[in-house]
Structure 1
């Protein structure tokens, strides 16, 4: 790391600990038998209000910036979702 550059969180042990803590806060779990088929197309990573984190954590996590979502301002797993999902104009994910 160059002096003066912010730490990007690229430490496997740190990121694994974050994932273990944060994954328990999912609103929707794709492994849940009650998971609806339509929700696969409405995951956080495809929402226009989901902003990925920088560094390796940004591969799976981002911040919700949707003022209509109860998760606004919180870190969310890209495969989570909520009822305030909004499609991206370009159809991208992640």
Structure 2
């Protein structure tokens, strides 16, 4: 990155390290044996309160903006979820 230029978030090494650190913060993981089928349709990336980050990290991560969620104001993986999921009227994801 050139001096004086804004950070774009498009540094693959940095993004890979963030992904590895942030995965330990998951509330729900589809890899867990106790993952419930009903949670699949209530993942963060499909919640109306999920705001995708910009740059490469925005392909998998976003900020929760749900005041009823314990994750409000935190970066979340798109396939995570919580009990405060809010359906998107258009059914979109990501």
Q: Tell me the TM-score normalised to structure 2 length.
A: 0.94
Deviation at residue 6 of structure 1 after TM alignment:
2.7
CA distance in 1, matches of 2:63, 2:30: 20
Runs of 4+ in 1 over 4 A off after TM superposition: 1-5
Which residue pairs with 1:80 in the alignment? 80
* Unpaired runs of at least 5, structure 2: none
Q: Tell me the TM-score normalised to structure 1 length.
A: 0.94
Aligned residue pair count: 94
CA-atom RMSD in angstroms: 1.6
| 1:89 lines up with 2:89 in the alignment | yes
Deviation at residue 10 of structure 1 after TM alignment:
0.3
Deviation at residue 90 of structure 1 after TM alignment:
0.9
Query: Per the alignment, in what secondary structure is the counterpart of residue 33 of structure 2?
Result: coil
Summarize the Cα distance change of 1:13–1:42 in structure 2 as closer, same or farther, 3 Å threshold. Answer: same
Query: Per the alignment, in what secondary structure is the counterpart of residue 93 of structure 1?
Result: coil
Which residue pairs with 1:69 in the alignment? 69
